[in-house]
Amino acid sequence: MKIINTVGKRKNAVARAVIKKGTGKFRINRIPFDLVKPELSRLRLIEPIRLSKDVSDKLDIDIVTNGGGTTGLIDAARQAIARGIVSWSGDDELKGKFVAYDRNLIVNDPRRNEVSKESHSSKGPRRKRQSSKR
């Protein structure tokens, strides 16, 4: 049996997807997809599945997420789904369809938070102490 493992990342969020042949079940963190709240997150999460309806109906998708915030987790999960569906089907046309719709479905976003520097104040990575004129 063919099993595909993929990873999606967004900021500090990481999503790992396991994709295998099945009946179209879709779970995220062991919760059925229909119970994902809020609804806007559910709509964003289903985009790669709607774009590849003929392929994804025959797949079971299990996603485990950790790190980051809710929006980052949803974006990481949809990236993992899209990458998994593309590697399952091996279809370059489907990959092009994903990239045309939203490039972040396939390509990682390299932006990360800058680390706060020790020598400066703890308010941020580049903040300096305000100087007095007198």
Query: Is the pLDDT score of 7 beyond 90?
Result: yes
Q: Where are the domains of the chain?
A: 3-105
Give 30's Cβ-side CA count (13 Å radius): 1
Q: For residue range 84-113, list pLDDT tens digits in order.
A: 999 998 888 989 999 999 888 899 888 877
Q: HSE of 61 in the Cβ direction (CA atoms, 13 Å)?
A: 30
Name the phi and psi angles at 12, rounded to 5. -95, 5
pLDDT band at 17 (very low <50, low <70, confident <90, very high): very high
81 vs 61: CA distance, rounded Å: 8
Structure tokens given for 94? 């489907």
Average pLDDT over residues 10-38: 90
CATH code of the domain occupying 3-105: 3.30.230.10
For 44-90, what is each residue's pLDDT tens digit? 998 998 888 888 888 899 999 999 899 999 999 999 999 999 999 88
- The pLDDT assigned to 120 comes to 64
